[in-house]
Amino acid sequence: MTYSYVDVFAMLVIAVGFLLLNYGIVKLLSPSNPLQGEKLETYECGELPFDDALVNFNIRYYVFALTFFVFDMEAIFLYPWAVVFNSLGLAGLMEMGTFLAILGIGLFYAYKKGVLHWV
């Protein structure tokens, strides 16, 4: 069977033409709002920025968020496991027990390091 690159080239031309046609239609029909006044502000909500955007945050917030993310993943893996629990048998139960034990060790470690303590 012979393959023709003319078909591929024609499809590429049609795709690029469609893209340029859509950009042209949007350019013609969209309203023109020149950048002036409030449009040049950092935030368009009416609030003027009063400080630098590069503010140092306590690393505890990030670690707490990552800890939440890890244990949120636990819920994502527990639901499908619970749905097919009967077909997995004892091996599936032992694997999930190992998974939960590893997460429990991680939670205990985070607790001992004081990550979960806010004040």
* Domain spans, the chain: 5-113
- For 59-81, write each residue's pLDDT tens digit: 777 777 888 887 787 788 888 88
Residue 40 identity: L
Sign of CA dihedral 109, 113, 115, 119: positive
- Using one digit for the tens of pLDDT, what is the confidence trace for 12-27? 999 999 999 999 999 9
> From 1.20.58, 1.10.287, 1.10.1760, 1.20.1280, which CATH number describes the 5-113 domain?
1.20.58
Rounded percentage of the chain residues whose pLDDT exceeds 70: 79
Phi, psi of 45 (to 5 degrees): -95, 0
Residue 51 CA: distances (Å) to CA of 42, 43, 56: 12, 13, 12
- pTM for the predicted model, two decimal places: 0.46
